[in-house]
Amino acid sequence: MPEPTSQNPTLESLTAAFPLTFPTPAPTTHLGLVSTRDLHREEDLLRNPFSFRHWWTAIQNVKETSAAEQKAERPSDLSPDIAALLGPLSSPASRKSLQRQVYLYEAALVQFPGSFKLWKSYLHTRMAFVLGRRITKKKAGGRKKFPEMREALEDEKEDLEQWEGGLDGIVGWEEWRLLIATFERALMWLPRMPRIWLLYLSIFNHPFCPPQVSHTHARRTYDRALRTLPPSLHGRIWARYLLWAESKGGATTVAIYRRYLAVDPSVTERYTAILLAPSNPDPRPLEAAKLILSLARKASRGEYTSPEGKSPYQLLGDFLDVVEQYAEEVGLDVADTIESNDKITKAAESDAAASQQPSDPASVDGKLIRFAGPPVTTKDGKVVPPYDEDEDPRNLRKLNIEDIVRKDGLEVYKDQAGRLWTGLATFWVKRGEFDRAKHTFERGLASVLTIRDFTQIFDAYAEFSESLISAMMESLANPDEDEDEEDVKETEQELDAKMKEFEELMDRRPFLVNDVLLRRNPNDVQEWEKRVALWGDNDEKVAETYTQALATVNPRRATANFHRLYINFAKFYEEGGTKGEAEPDLDSARKILDKATKVNFKTVDELAEVWCEWAEMEIRQENYDEAIRVMQRAAAVPKNTKVNYFDHALPVQARLFKSLKLWSFYVDLEESLGSVESAKAVYDKILDLRIANAQVIVNYAAFLEENKYYEESFKVYERGTELFTFPVSFEIWNIYLAKFVKRYGGSKIERTRDLFEQALEKCPPKHCKPIFLMYATFEEEHGLAKRAMSVYDRATNAVADEDKFEIFTIYIAKATSNYGLPATRPIYERALEILPDKQTAEMCLRFASMERKLGEIDRARAIYAHASQFCDPRVHPKFWQEWNNFEIETGSEDTFREMLRIKRSVQAQFNTEASYLAAQMAAKQNGQETEAEAQPADAMAAAERQAAGGAKGPAFVSAKQNTNVRVEAAEERPAAAGNEDEIHISDDED
**CB of 731 closer than 8 Å to CB of 696:** no
Are 241 and 222 in contact by the 8 Å Cβ rule? The answer is yes
CB atoms within 10 A of CB 192: 11
What's the pLDDT band for 362 if we cut at 50, 70, 90?
low
Is residue 722 within 8 Å of residue 697, measured between CB atoms?
no
pLDDT over 50 at 554, yes or no: yes
Alpha-carbon Rg for the chain in angstroms: 54
- Residues 474, 478, 479, 482, CA torsion sign: negative
| Band of pLDDT at residue 956, cut at 50, 70 and 90 | very low
Q: What are phi and psi for residue 546, nearest 5 degrees?
A: -60, -45
What is the per-residue pLDDT for 184?
Answer: 95
Which residues 6+ apart lie within 8 Å of 117 measured at CB?
none
Q: Which residue has the higher pLDDT, 538 or 363?
A: 538
State the pairing for strand pair 363-364/378-379.
unpaired
Q: How close are the terminal C-alpha atoms of the chain, in Å?
A: 121
Give strand pairing partners of 134: 163
Cβ contacts of 961 within 8 Å, gap of 6 or more:
942, 946, 951
CA distances (Å), origin 885, targets 80, 389, 955: 114, 107, 15
Question: Which parts of 833-980 are beta strand (E)?
Answer: none
Angle (nearest 5°) at CA 415 between 411 and 418: 90
Q: How far apart are CA 722 and CA 550, in angstroms?
A: 45
Q: Is 806 exposed, middle or buried (0-12, 13-18, 19+ CB in 10 A)?
A: middle
Contact (Cβ atoms closer than 8 angstroms) between residue 855 and residue 893: no
Residue 990 has pLDDT above 50, yes or no: no
CA dist., res. 903 & res. 984, Å (int): 14
Strand partners, 133: 164
Cβ atoms within 10 Å of 194's Cβ, excluding its own: 16
Distance of CA 725 to the CA centre of its chain: 49
Q: What distance in Å separates the CA atoms of residue 130 and residue 208, rounded to the nearest whole number? A: 10
Distance CA 584, CA 580 (A): 8
Average pLDDT, the chain: 82
pLDDT at residue 914 in the model:
54
Query: 3-class SS at 981?
Result: coil
Q: Say what the pTM is.
A: 0.68
The reported pLDDT for the residue numbered 731 is: 79
More confident residue, 46 or 950: 46
Cα separation, 605 vs 612, whole angstroms = 10
**3-class DSSP assignment, residue 678:** helix
Strands 162-164 and 378-379: unpaired
Residue 405: which of 418, 394, 396 has the closest Cα?
418
Percentage of residues in the chain with pLDDT exceeding 90?
32
For the cut 80, the answer to whether the pLDDT of residue 27 exceeds it is: yes
* Model pLDDT, residue 117: 95
Q: Give kind and range of the element (H or E) at residue 133.
A: strand 133-135
Question: pLDDT, tens digit, for every residue of 853-884?
Answer: 777 777 778 877 777 777 777 777 887 878 77
d(CA 950, CA 931): 31
Mean pLDDT, rounded, for 663-692: 84
What is the C-alpha separation between 373 and 735, in angstroms, rounded? 86
- For 786-821, the pLDDT digits (tens) are 777 878 778 877 787 778 788 788 878 887 777 777
User: Cα–Cα–Cα angle for 877, 881, 882, nearest 5°?
Assistant: 120
pLDDT at 76: 73
d(Cα 698, Cα 736) in Å, to the nearest integer?
Answer: 9
User: HEC profile for 354-418?
Assistant: HHHCCCCCCEECCEECCCCCCCCCEECCEECCCCCHHHCCCCCCCECHHHHHHHHHHCCCHHHHH
For residues 89 and 943, which has the higher predicted lDDT (pLDDT)?
89
Q: Is the pLDDT of residue 148 over 90?
A: no
pLDDT of residue 970: 35
Kindly indicate the confidence band of residue 380, based on its pLDDT and cuts at 50, 70 and 90. Answer: low
Span 760-777, pLDDT tens digits: 888 888 888 888 888 787
CB-count burial class (<10 Å; 0-12, 13-18, 19+) for 333: middle
Element (H, E) at 631: helix 624-634
Element (H, E) at 162: strand 162-164
Provide the β-strand partners of residue 162. 135
Determine contact, residues 305/349, Cβ cutoff 8 Å.
no
Residue 25: CB atoms within 10 A of its CB come to: 22
Contact predicate 990/936, CB 8 Å: yes
User: Rounded to an integer, what distance in angstroms lies between the CA atom of residue 124 and that of residue 196?
Assistant: 10
Q: Which of residues 979 and 144 earns the better pLDDT score?
A: 144
pLDDT band at residue 981 under the 50/70/90 scheme: very low
Number of neighbouring beta carbons within 10 Å of residue 259: 15
At a CB cut-off of 8 Å and minimum separation 6, what does 857 contact? 851, 890
For residues 313 and 835, which has the higher predicted lDDT (pLDDT)?
313
Task: Judge whether 450 and 516 are in contact, CB under 8 Å.
Answer: yes
**What percentage of residues in the chain have a pLDDT greater than 70?**
87
Residue 889 CB partners (closer than 8 Å, separation 6+): 959
State residue 221's pLDDT score: 95
Q: Is the pLDDT of residue 300 over 60?
A: yes
Are 748 and 763 in contact, with CB atoms under 8 Å apart? Answer: no
E strand or H helix at 593:
helix 586-596
Which residue did the predictor score with more confidence, 943 or 73?
A: 73
- Cα–Cα distance for residue pair 343/347, rounded to 1 Å: 6
Instruction: Please give the residue that has the higher pLDDT: either 740 or 221.
Output: 221
pLDDT digits (tens, 9 = 90+) for 725-760: 777 777 778 777 777 777 777 777 788 778 878 778
Per-residue model confidence (pLDDT) at position 165: 84
pLDDT value of residue 962: 38
The pLDDT assigned to 839 comes to: 78
- Residues paired with 383 in a beta bridge: 378
Task: Output the CA torsion sign for 559, 561, 567, 568.
Answer: negative
What count of Cα atoms within 13 Å lies in the side-chain half-sphere of residue 301?
12
Q: What is the pLDDT of residue 72?
A: 83
Specify burial of residue 328 (Cβ count, 10 A radius: 0-12, 13-18, 19+).
Answer: exposed
d(CA 61, CA 40): 13
Q: Is the pLDDT of residue 424 over 70?
A: yes
* Interacting residues of 926 by C-beta distance below 8 A, sequence separation 6+: none
pLDDT at residue 679 in the model: 84
Q: What is the DSSP letter of 985?
A: -
Phi, psi at residue 941, to the nearest 5°?
-65, -40
Q: What's the CA gap between 501 and 495, in Å, rounded?
A: 10
Distance (Å) of CA 257 to CA 75, 158, 262, 274, 282: 49, 20, 9, 10, 15
Express each pLDDT in 432-490 by its tens digit: 999 999 999 999 999 999 999 999 999 999 999 999 999 888 888 777 666 677 778 88
In the predicted model, is pLDDT for residue 224 greater than 80? yes
What is the average pLDDT across 291-309? 91
For residue 146, name the pLDDT band (cuts at 50, 70, 90): low
Residue 76 DSSP code: P
